[in-house]
Amino acid sequence: MKSLAELQALRDKMKNNMGIRNDDEAKARIVVGMATCGIAAGARPVLAAFTDEVSKRGLNDVAVGQTGCIGICQYEPVAEVFMPGQEKVTYVKMTEEKARRVVAEHIVNGNVVTEYTIGANAK
Amino acid sequence: MQELSLNILDIAENSVKAKASLVEITVEEDEAADLMRIIIADNGCGMTPEVVARVSDPFYTTRTTRKVGLGVPFVKMACEMTGGTFSIDSTVGEGTTLRASLGLHNIDRSPLGDIASTIASLVQCNPDIDFVYTHRTGEGEMCADTREFRAVLEGVPLSNPEVVSFIREYIAEHLTEIKGGLI
C-alpha cells in the first residue's frame, strides 16, 4: 500500500532530476474547463488524460491546469492550448483519446488538430 | 452529474473560488443510520445570509458568462431525491460548510464514484491550497492530508504529475482497505 515513505522516495528522485517543472517557465500551457458544465460533460478524465500523456512523454515544460466556464457550455469539455508566440487554440467536445492526440500532434509536433477546434465544430 | 465525486469536485471548486487555503472533504458511510454524509468545509471568504439563501436557486450565479448556476442545486437535488438533507452554513470572512446527507441504500442515490481522481484533480489544479480527504466506513477511517504530503515533499510541487498519481493511488488504496466507496 502507498505510504509516506514512498512519497519520500519519489521526492528524492525528483530532487535529483533537474527537470522539475516550473509552471512559470512552461513552454506550453493546457487548461481544461472545470466549472459545473465542464465537470458534468466529462472534464475530469480529460484533465487526467492530458496530465498522463504529458507525464508519459516526459514533457517537463508543459503545464496542465484548469480554467472556469468560458461561456460555451454546449461545447464542453473544452481545453485551451497556449503556446508561446502562437494564438490560443480552443478545442471542444474533448475526450481522453482527443486529449492524447492533441498532446502528440499539437504540443509535440506543433500541428493544430483542426478538426477538434471550435472553428471546425461551431454551427 | 453521473457520480457524487463529480458533485464534490464541482463544490470544492467553489471553495477555490472563495480563496480558501484549506478545504476539508469528508465522506461517511453510516450503515446504522442508512446515510451517506458528505461534508465540504472551507476557510474561504464565506457568504452573506442573503447569498446563502439564493445559492440553491438554479437561476442565481455570480458568473457573468452565463445566467444559470447549477452546482449547488445539483447537490441539493441529489440529496433530496434519496430522502436526504442538505444545508449550507457560511460566515463572511470565516468560511463555508456544506453538509449533504443521502440515503445510503436508496436506489436513487448516485454512486460515490472515483473520489480519488476528484481529489487528485483538485490538488493538481490548486497546488497552493491544502486539501484534507477523510473517509469513514464501518471498517475504519482513512485520511489524505496535503499538509502532510507537502511536508514530505520539501518544495517539490504537489502539481507534479508523478506526485498527483501518487496521491490518487494513495487514496484509492487506503479506501479499498476500509471498503470505502463500494456501495
Pick the closest to residue B43 from B87, B94, B91, B88 (CA basis). B94
Q: Chain B residue with minimal CA distance to A69?
A: B65
- Between A11, A51, A55, which is nearest B152 by CB? A11
Instruction: Please say if the pLDDT value at position A108 is more than 80.
Output: yes
pLDDT of residue B21: 98
For residue B39, give Cα distances in angstroms to A10, A112, B13, B35, B162: 31, 42, 14, 13, 28
Query: What is the mean pLDDT, run by run of 10 residues, along chain B of 183 residues?
Result: 94 95 98 97 95 89 79 94 96 96 96 97 96 97 97 93 93 96 85
Q: What is the DSSP code (8-state) at residue B103? A: E
State the total domains in chain B: 1
Minimal C-alpha gap between B141 and chain A (Å) = 15
What SS3 state is found at B150?
Answer: helix
The interface predicted TM-score (ipTM) is 0.88
Q: Tell me whether residues A21 and B69 touch, CB distance under 8 A.
A: no
A82 to chain B, closest Cα gap in Å: 16
Tell me how far apart the alpha carbons of residues B3 and B77 are, in angstroms, rounded to a whole number: 13
Q: How far is CA A76 from CA A32, A116, B48, B172, in A?
A: 9, 12, 31, 27
Angle between helices A43-56 and B161-177 (to 10 degrees): 120
| Nearest-CA distance A54 → chain B (Å) | 8
Q: How far is A87 from chain B (nearest CA, A)?
A: 22
Query: Rounded distance, CA B163 to CA B153, Å?
Result: 9
Of B9, B152, B177, the CB nearest to A39: B9
CB contact under 8 A, B162 and A14: yes
3-state secondary structure of B96: strand
CATH number at B140 reads 3.30.565.10
Beta bridge partners of B41: B24, B97
Interchain CB contacts (distance < 8 Å): A and B = 103
CA–CA dist A79, B51 (Å, integer): 31
**What are the sequence ranges of the domains in chain A?**
28-121
Confidence at residue A26, expressed as pLDDT on a 0 to 100 scale: 64
pTM: 0.92
CATH class in words for A28-121? alpha beta
Q: Which residue of A has its CA nearest to B118?
A: A44
Domain membership flag for residue B70 = yes
pLDDT of residue B112: 97
Segment (H or E) for B51: helix B49-54
| Nearest CB partner across the interface for A69, out of B65, B152, B159 | B65
pLDDT digits (tens, 9 = 90+) for A67-102: 988 889 999 999 999 999 889 999 999 999 999 999
Give the pLDDT score at A66. 94
In chain B, residues with a C-beta closer than 8 Å to the C-beta of A69 are 63, 65-66
Q: How does pLDDT run across A16-52, given as a tens digit for each residue?
A: 875 555 555 668 999 999 999 999 999 999 999 999 9
Please tell me the distance from the alpha carbon of residue B119 to that of residue B164, in angstroms, as a whole number.
9
User: Could you count the other beta carbons within 10 Å of the beta carbon of residue B36?
Assistant: 24
Q: Do A34 and B118 count as a contact with CB atoms less than 8 A apart?
A: no
Nearest CB to A48; choose among B71, B117, B170 = B117
CB contact under 8 A, B1 and A40: yes
Whether omega before A84 lies within 30 degrees of 0, making that bond cis, reads: no
Query: Residue B112: which domain range?
Result: 4-177
Q: Please tell me the distance from the alpha carbon of residue A5 to that of residue B105, in angstroms, as a whole number.
A: 37
Compare CB distances from A36 to B71, B120, B121 and report the shortest one's residue: B71
Distance from CA of A64 to the nearest CA of B (A): 8
Contact B166 A48 (CB under 8 A): no
